[in-house]
Amino acid sequence: MTNVSDRAVLMHNGRVRDGAIGREAQRRQTRARVLDAAVVEFQRSGANSADINAIAETAGVSRSTFYFHFPTKEHVLLELIRRDESRLGEELGSFLDSPHDLQAVLEEIIRLVVALEKQWGAGLFRDVIGLYFSPTRLREEQWSQHPTYVLLAAEIERARHRGELYDDVDSLHSAAFFLIGVHALLTTTSESDTGRDEVLEKFVKSTLRSVQRSVRPG
């Protein structure tokens, strides 16, 4: 039988757990609010010129709270990458559940990235991508942490095992080269460029030509 002392300990531990869970939920809500305010300011002024005081005021927090969650502006961009690429990875994963070939996968990735560019705005998109592919980005940021890269590399590897690609195709390098190329093309052209779609279409075709066998077995 549980004695009074045991019940007191259980009640205390329950309150501690509930309190910890509540604080963590509040921390996450504050972080999300700060991120949303930062995105608006970054879209308005650009990452380099963004006003931290304006972000804090919009989020309803102190300047020190901003720095508690995001030590630098680069950390804001990295958090934005994590948040929205996670969503993009989920959408790509849903697409992969339906019948598809490698060309369709490449075209779907381009569609998703272009949609993300529209959501962020061209200026913020360039800021984010500049950090994404920067050789000086934070050490913990590795390709393997990006779901789109992981999913694409797996699709390329499956196509290679099916005999559709050359035997020496490196799925990891090929996925990285494609993603770098797509983002480079998008950041060096604007949505209003009449030839942009054609350039992206040609890029898909050239990517496939570089890895696909000229005559597929069977």
Quote the pLDDT of residue 217: 46
Model confidence pLDDT, tens digit, residues 11-68: 666 665 666 678 888 888 999 999 999 999 999 998 889 999 999 999 999 999 999 9
Query: Average pLDDT, whole number, for the chain?
Result: 87
- CATH number of the 1-71 domain: 1.10.10
Q: What is the DSSP letter of 191?
A: T
Residue 176, φ and ψ in degrees, nearest 5:
-65, -45
Start-end of CATH 1.10.357.10 domains in the chain: 73-218
Question: What dihedral angle (degrees, nearest 10) is formed by the CA atoms of 61, 64, 65, 68?
Answer: 170
Start-end of CATH 1.10.10 domains in the chain: 1-71
Q: Which CATH number fits domain 73-218: 1.10.357.10, 3.30.110.60, 1.10.3470.10, 2.60.40.420?
A: 1.10.357.10
Which residue numbers in the chain have pLDDT < 70? 1-20, 135-144, 215-218
The answer to whether 127 and 42 are in contact (CB under 8 A) is yes
Planar angle of CA 206, 173, 135, nearest 5 degrees: 110
Helix/strand/coil for 165: strand
Quote the pLDDT of residue 82: 85
Please report, in angstroms and rounded to a whole number, the separation of the first and last CA atoms in the chain. Answer: 73
Whole-model pTM: value is: 0.80
**For the range 180-186, what are the long-range contacts, defined as Cβ-Cβ under 8 Å and sequence gap of 24 or more?**
180/133, 181/207, 182/109, 182/110, 182/113, 183/113, 183/129, 183/132, 183/133, 186/113, 186/114, 186/117, 186/125, 186/129
CA-derived radius of gyration, the chain: 23
Quote the pLDDT of residue 132: 74
Using alpha carbons, select from 10, 115, 124 the residue that is nearest to residue 77.
Answer: 124
Burial 52-89 (b: 16+ CB within 10 A, else e): eeebbebbebeeebbeebbeebbbbbbbbbeeebeebb
